[in-house]
Amino acid sequence: MTKKKTPRMTLANLPAGDVLCAYCTGKCCRYFSLAIDRPTEWQDFDHMRWYVMHGRTSIFVDGDDWYLCVVGDCENLLPDNRCGYYENRPQICRDYSFTECEYSGDGVYDKLFESAEQLWEYAEAILPARERPNPKVGNPSLPALPILSLN
């Protein structure tokens, strides 16, 4: 016996008087993204490498726009995926609407970088070649620091 699959709730089949948030997993409350400048030089990519080295972060590109994405649940997200601070929520939450809602989205971006290595490889593909240290190894051209004795 096969289990009948329940269709995914959408605005089109939403029962009258219901809200789409009642069916949601709180996707919009589990991360935030900030627009960043499109990288054009090595230093830009080096900064982005630093961003993604800090835990659950990534860089994504949607159209011509670049974003830093930081994954982390909102502290007011309740176990049922509703807001526990709804009446006092920030303006950015108030301005968010069903037309922007990611509930129905596919989560596919034009480009997605989840590691420093991916960013560096992309930079090498699109930027002019230059002399640079290997990001995985210390810079051998720098002098070694002296070892100091405590005696």
The per-residue pLDDT for range 84-122, each reduced to its tens digit, is: 998 999 999 888 876 677 776 666 789 999 999 999 999
Q: What is the pTM of this model?
A: 0.72
pLDDT band at 140 (very low <50, low <70, confident <90, very high): low
What is the distance of C-alpha 130 from the center of its chain? 29
Write down the domain spans for the chain.
Answer: 20-126
Q: What is the pLDDT of residues 36-86, one digit of tens each?
A: 999 999 999 999 999 999 999 999 999 999 999 999 999 999 998 888 998
Tell me how far CA of residue 129 lies from CA of 37, 38, 41, in angstroms.
Answer: 21, 19, 11
pLDDT top residue among 143 and 29: 29
